[in-house]
Amino acid sequence: MIFNHTEEFLFYNPYAEELILRAMIVNNCILDYILSEVDEDFFYLNNNKIIFKAIRQLYIANENLSPFNICYQLDNEQLLSKAGGQSRILNMAQCNLNLSQLEVIGYIAILKDKLIKRLLYKISIFIQEMACSYEIYNAVNLSKIENELAKIIQVQSNSKISKITDLIQANFRENYFNYTKISTKKISTGFSELDEHLEILDKGNLIIVAGRPAMGKTSFGLSLIMNICKQKPKASIIIFSLEMTASQIANRLMVIETDLPLQTLRNIFRQQKNTIKLSDIFPNIYQSSIYIDDNNSINPEYIQNTIQKIITKDKEIDLILIDYLQLLGKLQENRTQEISYITRNLKKVARQFNVPIILLSQLNRNVEQRKNKRPLLSDLRESGCIKGNAIIQTDILPHLVLESLTQKKFSLLSTIFPKSNYNKITFSINGKSCGRKHIYAVIKSKKFMIQLTANHRIFTLYNWQRIDILVEDSIIITNKLKKWCYYKVENLIYCQKEKIYNLKVPPFSNFIANSIIVHNSIEQDADVVLLLYRESYYNSLSNNNTTEIIIGKNRNGTTGSIFLNFNAKTTKFV
């Protein structure tokens, strides 16, 4: 990469890098803020990267950020000369630099701008190489471009910090405006009991509607869409259907609007095809703008681009329905982490376009294994949690007990790339307790190897596997002192209900607990989770067509259950 070393410094700014480092050393008051906004990628010059990492390590270890400690840290790692030597560190600490937080924000903005330009330049080179290659377009790795662009968007995004008193005042002003001037524009679900819990479909919310197959998830979503079209003329709605074709979705909507079976509608059309006006039969569909995309290979970036195109036409979108979560993405080996990536990014899309997104999702098979088939919120999660006494491996600090990590802002842990046995030291984030849950123990040599929930994944000879599908003699891979060992599982036993914890550890989405490689735990990013349950599905003798809608999670309202009737002939909820 060729850089301009004139005063313009197109791809980096050595002055801004130097000033940020000096501010970190001499002004501990703004150190927390800098470390929360900046990482080593913001620095282009390698000597500055080295100094930044040393300061961060001392900060995490709660050590005094004196020039002596920084030099000692660098010398231990044999990096002092590469950082510019002892004289440079002492010179940086002796300057009388008292930057305000506002000035620091300005310099960070400069570093961010340079980082984005470097990333864009890197992508442009990659695109040029692909364009000039002889590979056919199917062999081109476009996903790499998507990932690199996603990194740039993440760097570019700005989080707005607001004072709570301003938020309260603005919130009351907004509520007053909504209820006195435009109350007719509020979007409800059309189900009065459900509206009592949700109040309205809040813009910017991600709503997950989950259930086992044949519970009526798609029918519920389409019934809700027709309710919106009835209450709001010229509603604008987008449906991303990965399972059904656009024609099948259109047929469903026609049946739901008219309350007539599809065959009856076809007979009416054949008999009156010369005189019939379809806009009279389907007034709500024809008044609204309903877009259906049945591309079966989409991802959050594709959804984002499609929304942007439609907004240029309709200016505003009232609702987005995606059917369904498990078909999104590229079905990679690490499906657990991919699901987390998808839900997190769909939440960002909902906030970016200020629109509610309803995401249909299938529940895991845990439901079928229980005597009581009513779904639980934990059935939606793709990964579980671990008992707090697990020992978490790190190469720098003494090994840590998992429970203690919930009290630390950052922690340096070992993570591993299983395919190459490559170890990396990284930060754990969001370590926290997840309440009390039923846990199971993996037994070897009549001792507990680890205790965790049934849906947690560990690394085995056959890739990542959940605890509840392991059997005796399954081969677990452990990593101790950077050496791989293979152990047979002697037994799996139920323990009891215990307090459990989870971690998120980038970049390889795993950590080492009791020498076992365990996967990150994942929490859903949804604001609302609705679980569908129909008793007649499990009891063939039951004539009850009532469906229970369980509000398992609701950030801005109450949880509970409501009951809706399901008409199987018109696949409609009322």
**Measured between alpha carbons, how far is residue 251 from residues 137, 262, 413, 560, 571 in Å?**
35, 7, 53, 33, 11
Other C-beta atoms lying within 10 Å of the C-beta of residue 282: 18
pLDDT score, position 303: 87
Residues belonging to the chain:
574
| 8 A C-beta contact, residue 209 and residue 358 | yes
Amino acid at 283: P
Distance CA 315, CA 293 (A): 19
β-bridge pairing 528-533 and 206-211:
parallel
**Which of these CATH numbers, 3.40.50.150, 3.40.630.30, 3.40.50.720, 3.40.50.300, describes 184-366+562-573?**
3.40.50.300
Q: Which helix (H) or strand (E) holds 295?
A: none
Sequence-distant (6+) residues with CB within 8 A of 425 are 394, 395, 396, 412, 413, 414, 415
Residue 213 has a pLDDT of 86
DSSP H stretches of helix in 132-237? 142-156, 164-180, 192-198, 217-231
Per-residue pLDDT for the chain (574 aa), expressed as one digit of tens each? 444 444 456 888 888 899 999 888 887 777 877 887 888 889 999 999 999 999 888 887 778 888 888 998 898 889 999 999 988 988 888 877 777 777 888 888 889 889 989 888 888 888 888 788 766 555 556 667 777 776 777 676 554 444 444 444 445 444 544 444 434 456 788 898 998 888 778 888 999 999 888 889 999 999 999 999 998 888 999 999 888 888 889 989 999 999 988 888 888 888 887 788 888 889 999 899 899 988 877 888 888 888 888 887 777 899 999 987 877 765 454 455 566 677 878 888 888 888 999 999 888 766 776 677 888 776 776 556 788 888 877 655 567 788 877 766 566 777 776 655 566 666 555 566 666 777 888 887 666 678 888 767 788 877 777 776 777 778 887 877 667 788 888 888 888 878 888 776 766 667 888 888 887 654 457 889 999 998 888 877 667 788 999 998 888 888 899 999 988 888 899 8
- Do the domains at 184-366+562-573 and 383-519 have one common CATH topology? no
Of 373, 351, 381, 390, residue with least CA distance to 535: 373
Q: What would the two tokens of residue 385 be?
A: 């949690």
DSSP β-ladder status, 400-401 and 560-567: unpaired
CA atoms 184, 185, 191, 195: torsion sign? negative
pTM of the model: 0.57
Is the distance from CB of 12 to CB of 113 less than 8 angstroms? Answer: no
Per DSSP, 566 falls in state E
Residue written as token pair 């989770």: 529
Is CATH 2.170.16.10 the classification given to domain 383-519?
A: yes
Beta partners for 319?
Answer: 237
How far apart are alpha carbons 316 and 68 in whole angstroms? Answer: 59
pLDDT at 424: 63
Residue closest to 369 by CA, chosen among 358, 360, 378: 378
Considering only CA atoms, give the Rg of the chain. 28
Q: Are 308 and 320 in contact (CB under 8 A)?
A: no
Q: Which helix (H) or strand (E) holds 342?
A: helix 335-353
CATH T-level assignment (fold) for domain 1-158: DNAb Helicase; Chain A (1.10.860)
d(CA 206, CA 203) in angstroms, rounded, equals 9
Assigned token pair, 79:
């990096």
pLDDT given for residue 401 in this prediction: 81
Predicted local confidence at residue 109, as pLDDT: 87
DSSP-based three-state secondary structure for 322: strand
- Please tell me the distance from the alpha carbon of residue 48 to that of residue 55, in angstroms, as a whole number: 11
Q: Collapse the DSSP code of 60 into the 3-class scheme (helix H, G, I; strand E, B; otherwise coil) and give the result.
A: helix
Alpha-carbon gap, residue 569 to 354, rounded angstroms: 35
3-state secondary structure of 362: strand
pLDDT of residue 319: 94
Half-sphere exposure of residue 293: CA atoms within 13 angstroms, side-chain side: 21
What was the pLDDT predicted at 139? Answer: 56
Distance CA 567, CA 260 (A): 11
Tokens of 504: 């998120």
Domain boundaries, the chain: 1-158, 184-366+562-573, 383-519
Identify the pLDDT of residue 396. 56
Q: Phi first, then psi: what are they for 126, rounded to 5°?
A: -65, -45
The residues, any chain, with a CB within 8 Å of residue 30's CB and separated by 6 or more, are 23, 99, 101, 104
